[in-house]
Amino acid sequence: MPGRFFLTTPIYYVNDVPHIGHAYTTITADAVARWHRLLGDETYFLTGTDEYGLKIARSAEANGITPQEQADRTSARFKETWQLLDVSYDRFIRTTDPDHAATVQAFLQKVYDNGYIYKSAYAGWYCVACEAYYGEEELLPNPDGGPGLDPIHRRPAEWFEEENWFFKLSAFEQPLLDWYGANPDAVAPGGKRNEALGLIRQGLRDISISRSSLDWGVAIPWDDQQVFYVWYDALINYATAIGYGTDPERFATWWPHVHHLLAKDILRFHCVYWPAMLLAAGEEPPAHLHVHGYLTVGGEKMSKTSLNQIFPADLVEEFGVDGFRYHFLRDSSFGPDGDFSYEAMIARYNADLANNFGNLLSRVATVVDKKCGGIGPAPRADSPLAAVAATALAEATAAWDTIQPAAALEATWKLIREANALLETTEPWKLDPGPEVDGVLGDALEVLRLVSILASPALTRSVTEVWRRIGLSGSPTDQLLPAAASWGGYPGGLPVEKGDPLFPRLKAKS
């Protein structure tokens, strides 16, 4: 039954241009959104940029431009990258969008009216790169003897003292534990849920949610001397996009059935602070939080200071958009950390795309040309591949449903491998034209049709070309699952086109 599906990526900071880490979360979200569109779900896919705060103000200053210019430039780079990678978002939110300020103010006014915000003095350690406070005990020793280092960026923390507005996070320790108890599947994978529970059980301290020393932020409705702390404005983007404070009916149709995708660096904000803020505003916490690990390069998290960032455009030039998307979806399981390897990317491209998918298409087109006059025959109702196709659909559905693209694509590629195996055992190219040749080729054409649909969340371009070459009209993305995946949908009698290799084999550049 089609339903509604709301999914989000983090909104990315505009101090730096997108690298393959940002692309990983965004492409995963995009593929999942595309899968849900195939199921006929009304899908809303949100991404965007996080533009306020000290980190952005400082990077603008370092670049000799205004924070607004910094935000405009870098936000445009994110949009260009997502366009390059065929990311089909429904909204690209910028925290400087006017409707966002209105929602942040309405939301936090509600929390204030509910009695969870008060004024107090703050003094403590702060990391600007994380835009986060740290207790002394959370900082790592500084080999240079200065202030302790934050555990994520390993930069010296700074001492901050300010009169700020505070959020009574401590009031939500028990409500959060109760909520997690009643919603055991809210955070996936399970290890990340335990991490979130561990943070809550350690005890929650109230936190400052405003800044008096900065004006690059959303104004506080009840205090014109301060702005909101960037994380409090940023998290609320998920509510802005679905009409919190501006369109209550729309908000109620989408919330709380959201799927937030994020990496473990921002688990505390999404799995502790955000649910607590929602409870404080009288709303339900987010229904699903999917937390993945880091994509590392040379064993280290990518960062400007490690000089190990890899940019999507450089890989797209060599592998194409489909080669790029396929590699990250197929080779980086959603959950654990994974090290990027150029050699693995070449190997995966050649094995799965050139040798399996591409080869199936070119073999079928060549033999249909030789033995069937270029007209594709229909599949057999009793084909040995029918059961394999049903299993592929069932396994892919279960895997996409739990945000496991690697498993979904593996299930889909099993079907391609079985079709290639059938061709190898029956060798239709050696047989005289007749029912057996027609049957085998019809079956293989049906597999190409099915795979074009099932792989369309990952391969946005080549599947449309396969669809066209086997003579079908429309597009694989217009199909509706599960009906379109029943065996026998390829009608036969269609012209099949031989063409250039879909995925030319690649050699590693030395």
Does position 295 interact with ligand ME8 (CB under 6 A)? The reply is: yes
Does position 457 interact with ligand ME8 (CB under 6 A)? The reply is: no
- What is the DSSP pairing of strand 295-297 with strand 258-263? unpaired
Give ∠ CA 499-503-505 in degrees, rounded to 5.
115
5, 13, 126, 357: residue in contact with ligand ME8 (rule CB under 6 A) = 13
Residue with tokens 């959104």: 33
Residues between 125 and 184 with contacts to ligand ME8, criterion CB under 6 A: none
Does position 277 interact with ligand ME8 (CB under 6 A)? The reply is: no
Q: Which residues of 105-117 are buried (b: 16+ CB within 10 A; e: fewer)?
A: bbbbbbbbeeebb
Q: How far is the CB of 252 from ligand ME8 (least distance, A)?
A: 21
Build a one-symbol-per-residue string for 300-319: x at contacts with ligand ME8 by CB under 6 A, - elsewhere: -xx-----------------
Residue with tokens 């997108």: 18
Which residue lies nearer to ligand ME8 by CB, 268 or 498?
268
Which residue lies nearer to ligand ME8 by CB, 8 or 43?
8
- With CA atoms as reference, report the closest residue to 477 among 27, 4, 36, 89: 36
Which residue lies nearer to ligand ME8 by CB, 166 or 273?
273
Which residue lies nearer to ligand ME8 by CB, 131 or 443?
131
Do the beta carbons of residue 503 and residue 352 sit within 8 Å? no
Angle between helices 173-182 and 190-201 (to 10 degrees): 160
Q: Which residues contact 371 (CB under 8 A, 6 or more apart)?
A: 428, 429, 431, 433, 437, 441
Start-to-end C-alpha separation, the chain = 51
265, 283, 318, 410: residue in contact with ligand ME8 (rule CB under 6 A) = 265
Do the beta carbons of residue 269 and residue 50 sit within 8 Å? no
Does position 107 interact with ligand ME8 (CB under 6 A)? The reply is: no
5, 6, 7, 25: residue in contact with ligand ME8 (rule CB under 6 A) = 25
Candidate segments 30-38, 294-302, 414-422, 473-481, binder of ligand ME8 by CB under 6 A: 294-302
12, 44, 349, 413: residue in contact with ligand ME8 (rule CB under 6 A) = 12
Does position 10 interact with ligand ME8 (CB under 6 A)? The reply is: yes
Do the beta carbons of residue 242 and residue 255 sit within 8 Å? yes
**Integer Cα distance of 47 and 94 in angstroms:** 9
Does position 263 interact with ligand ME8 (CB under 6 A)? The reply is: yes
Say which amino acid occupies 404.
Q
Does position 279 interact with ligand ME8 (CB under 6 A)? The reply is: no
Does position 50 interact with ligand ME8 (CB under 6 A)? The reply is: yes
Q: Which residues contact 446 (CB under 8 A, 6 or more apart)?
A: 379, 383, 385, 389, 487, 488, 489, 490
Does position 294 interact with ligand ME8 (CB under 6 A)? The reply is: yes
101, 117, 266, 472: residue in contact with ligand ME8 (rule CB under 6 A) = 266
Q: In 10 A of CB 352, how many CB atoms?
A: 24
Candidate segments 7-15, 39-47, 193-201, 244-252, binder of ligand ME8 by CB under 6 A: 7-15
Do the beta carbons of residue 376 and residue 471 sit within 8 Å? yes
Q: How far is the CB of 488 from ligand ME8 (least distance, A)?
A: 41
Does position 110 interact with ligand ME8 (CB under 6 A)? The reply is: no
Which residue lies nearer to ligand ME8 by CB, 10 or 320?
10
149, 235, 408, 416: residue in contact with ligand ME8 (rule CB under 6 A) = 235
Give how many residues touch ligand ME8 by CB under 6 A: 20
Q: In 10 A of CB 57, how many CB atoms?
A: 20
Does position 271 interact with ligand ME8 (CB under 6 A)? The reply is: no
Do the beta carbons of residue 447 and residue 360 sit within 8 Å? yes
Which residue lies nearer to ligand ME8 by CB, 113 or 300?
300
Q: How far is the CB of 292 from ligand ME8 (least distance, A)?
A: 6
Query: Using CB under 6 A as the criterion, which residues of the chain lie in contact with ligand ME8 when the complex forms?
Result: 10-13, 21-22, 24-25, 50, 234-235, 237, 262-263, 265-266, 294-295, 301-302
